[in-house]
Chains A and B, each alone.
Chain A
């Protein structure tokens, strides 16, 4: 099931095969933005919320449309709009070091708040913050509250400082859900909470989650049929965005899994913007978010050298399924709490180190690469330490490159390419000396 699409951007025009999952995702995104921007006409109410630990299944119980500011910032980065938005935000008074997702969002609002479909974003009716380790989110919503004068709900997720989830933590969160989150959402939406509806949504989530995990873990194969970072960012779109718990998500991940299994059977490598990757030469684990303003250029630096990312922490940014967690319809509120608690940025450093070490070992990677984001403290803090420790435990070389989320000024292509090339050659050298030994 493939559709042929001719790209108009680069001459000579090249035919790119779009897989069914790609077409499906595109349709889903377009439909979602249309639903969102026509909310003022349809009367649907809008809930703004963040990706990590989002409560999409719950939000849907109240018929609210979900709007995710980070995803909007990412879209603006990919569409080369974020640069001017960031400047606009700086003009308003946000300093150079503020998270560029925030600045892109603030700048976008200042410049008319236009969605990717060219229509105006609706004002949110409620801001729902499930706080999962990123302090900036709290400040961000303070700004939005000031702007929109709307209600704000904060679900506080305790930090996993000791590396485990306790009964108390779950109870604390469930109490917040019962006493605060749910009643407020009922009041704003005018819809009574129905726990069976939540169970049904959660049941759907689980089905999509199973397929996603199969897809991401297919990278354990050699060659890997997917890229778990650059490709992975597309794969996590629906599940961490507005679609977890929907039939659309189930369909998307079913298509995706079938495609990946087909590639696997055919012994094919990942799909890249330039077609199939011919030969896998390096297998990497990547830590940290990607750069969106030069996403393709950055990715090309990898696939041109035959480098595949087999696992990444960023593809777990919305929630971590590696250790068996799935949404559980039998414990609807507890499972929401557990989901938020397990988010990558809510895990302590030893847990992150364990996770990355396991990835290097289980996915038989050549090493760990860190893309450190200038304006992202929740990821950057401790990254050098993480690097040293993973290096020590795996005996595999690690490297460090630096860029930014959506601020184009912090992407120095020559510098990054230089480091990546050095890293690939370093791996090559290590292999050669291992062969000789």
Chain B
């Protein structure tokens, strides 16, 4: 089948969205952008393709009806199993790479010991892997580097201590290997991955196994569908580094406008607060950008500001919003300079202001700046769609709602849980339109 890919290369994460011919989303993928955009694109696309397979299974199983209400259970088990398979594959790769690093003078006297230790570290990593992907288990992150890294450190520390080996040698081996592994897109036949995952699911759940004779043909039939990458459009800050020709590249402003329109067709104003820029975009009833403004010369008040505050306060980024929500007397803070934020924060803490009040004030400050950008782009017209990482922050959203109401009255405010994919979605739709030579494919 034909698929249309949109890739959004952000400064922090790279997103991919797959559309079918009817503009329906069939797959989404996300990965950290690393220092290697090429790999990030491949990884995100592959994630989206895996997700697309799940969508195809869902469609096939729903149509078949055999599993009844159990479809969702089955699909989520399958999804977890596929991720586990992928994780195990990458662990193999990491182990091999690590072991290749054990050479040279530094290891002269301890080589055998280090090798033994590595075998043990990876044995433990593999052993606990299924638990990481068990139903209901919470992972701090879905990126291989984050999951494998923290567990590797813990195991290596224990094992090194017990064996009387220098811990930093094991750390060094890991540090040298992880970048290499991360920059290698996952190998192996994706279909085999699905087959192994299915076998695992059947093994674990007898109810699915009893349905095997029905499930297997549907499964194989769906796997046999070729997902052709019919047309691809890249967007985002990293787009210039993409090895695509010009007609495959669109500005993220246009992609965001169109993506927001696809999520909420009545959207006329879009606000996107990302890691390093804030955009106010006006779109017409068909999602075409009419005007836009973005922060200039300085990234004050963008997502990174909150990241910096979180670091300063020794908190997780996702903890800021909930704490700020506890405030009922936000501090008045006008500066949105990220560099000054730390000083502002310490100064106010020393004056005895409450953490939640300061945080609420900081959230208000970035939203004030965003409101200024929106007003310069032409104000807010109903409906209003808020996208970007900061849209996930409830305290920021609360301030935004307040200020929109004060300035523009009652306006429908849309925030999609998948708003991080807005740019990639717009890109994918551009790709679809370009392929079918529809208007707004904008192929000059």
Contacts and interface: CB of A to CB of B under 8 A. Distances in A.
Interface string A384-409: 10001001000001111010000000
Given A432-B442, A433-B286, A398 B251 contact: no
Contacts of B250: 425
Nearest to A282: B444
A433 B237 CA distance: 26
Nearest to A434: B439
Given A432-B440, A433-B286, A425 B251 contact: yes
B79 to A, nearest CB: 36
Contacts of A429: 254, 288-289, 440, 442
Given A415-B296, A432-B440, A436-B439, A391 B291 contact: yes
B253 interface: yes
Contacts of A415: 294, 296-297
A422 B297 contact: no
A197 interface: no
A407 to B, nearest CB: 11
Interface residues of B, number: 23
Contacts of B441: 432
Contacts of B252: 418, 422
Interface in B347-383: 376, 378
A422 B291 contact: no
Given A398-B291, A425-B250, A425-B254, A433 B297 contact: no
A368 B402 CA distance: 34
B440 A374 contact: no
B214 to A, nearest CB: 47
Contact of B296 (A281, A402, A421, A425): A402
A415 B278 CA distance: 12
B290 interface: yes
B293 interface: yes
A239 to B, nearest CB: 33
A374 B442 contact: no
A436 B297 CA distance: 37
A281 B444 contact: yes
A391 B293 CA distance: 15
A426 B297 contact: no
Interface string A16-27: 000000000000
B194 interface: no
A397 B440 contact: no
A428 interface: yes
A335 to B, nearest CB: 41
A92 to B, nearest CB: 24
A419 B237 CA distance: 11
B294 A419 contact: yes
Contacts of A436: 439-440
A397 B292 CA distance: 10
Interface string B283-306: 000101111111011000000000
Contacts of B292: 399, 419, 422, 426
Interface in B407-444: 439-442, 444
A296 B181 CA distance: 42
Contact of B251 (A391, A400, A422, A435): A422
A73 to B, nearest CB: 20
B376 A422 contact: no
Given A388-B378, A391-B291, A422-B254, A402 B442 contact: no
Interface in A258-284: 281
A25 to B, nearest CB: 33
Contact of A400 (B288, B293, B440, B444): B293
Contact of B288 (A281, A430, A435): A430
B291 A433 contact: no
A432 B439 CA distance: 5
The 9 closest A-B pairs by CB, nearest first: A436-B439, A422-B251, A422-B253, A402-B296, A428-B442, A432-B439, A421-B251, A429-B288, A426-B289
Interface of B: 237, 250-254, 286, 288-294, 296-297, 376, 378, 439-442, 444
27 contacts: A281-B444, A388-B378, A391-B291, A397-B290, A400-B293, A400-B376, A412-B296, A412-B297, A415-B294, A415-B296, A415-B297, A418-B237, A419-B253, A419-B292, A422-B254, A422-B289, A422-B292, A425-B250, A426-B253, A428-B444, A429-B288, A429-B289, A429-B442, A432-B439, A433-B440, A436-B439, A436-B440
